[in-house]
């Protein structure tokens, strides 16, 4: 049987939206939250994947983004583009065995997120 496992991590960073007219065109910061959903078969251990493995997979991304100016890494760092960046990084560098990325969510505030599907 398949199940989806979700790991949530956070980082703090500043950004501005250069292609947007409004308040977010100015420099400001957020306490961002990333949710990574991984789907796969439940194995003999009773798990799809260990939560610690997901934390390890996300750690290089957190190291790259935390307490940084996100525009230095992603030119137009909307929540959508940050989610795409994270998904692309995971697809390139992380081998999740028989699991697959179900979604990457990037929460910009506690009530607003963008999601890309696997």
The residue annotated as part of the active site, out of 28, 30, 44, 67, is 67
Residue with tokens 């390890």: 56
Nearest to 10 by CA among 39, 36, 37, 49: 36
Catalytic-residue membership of 30: no
Catalytic-residue membership of 108: yes
The residue annotated as part of the active site, out of 44, 108, 110, 115, is 108
Going from the C-alpha of 72 to that of each of 6, 68, 84, the distances in angstroms are 28, 8, 16
Catalytic-residue membership of 24: yes
Q: Which two tokens stand for residue 87?
A: 């998904």
Q: Is residue 65 packed enough to be buried (19+ CB in 10 Å), middle (13-18) or exposed (0-12)?
A: buried
The residue annotated as part of the active site, out of 2, 15, 24, 41, is 24
Q: Mind telling me the catalytic residues? A: 24, 67, 108
């Amino acid at each position: 049987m398949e199940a989806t496992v979700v790991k949530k991590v956070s980082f703090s960073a500043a950004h501005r939206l250069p292609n947007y007219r409004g308040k977010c065109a100015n420099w400001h910061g957020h306490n961002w939250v990333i949710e990574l959903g991984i789907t796969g078969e439940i194995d003999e251990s009773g798990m799809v994947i260990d939560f610690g493995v997901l934390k390890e997979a996300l750690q290089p991304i957190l190291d790259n983004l935390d307490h940084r100016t996100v525009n230095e890494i992603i030119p137009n760092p909307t929540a959508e583009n940050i989610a795409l960046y994270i998904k692309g990084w995971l697809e390139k560098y992380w081998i999740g065995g028989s699991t697959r990325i179900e979604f990457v969510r990037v929460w910009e505030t506690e009530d607003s997120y963008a999601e890309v599907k696997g």
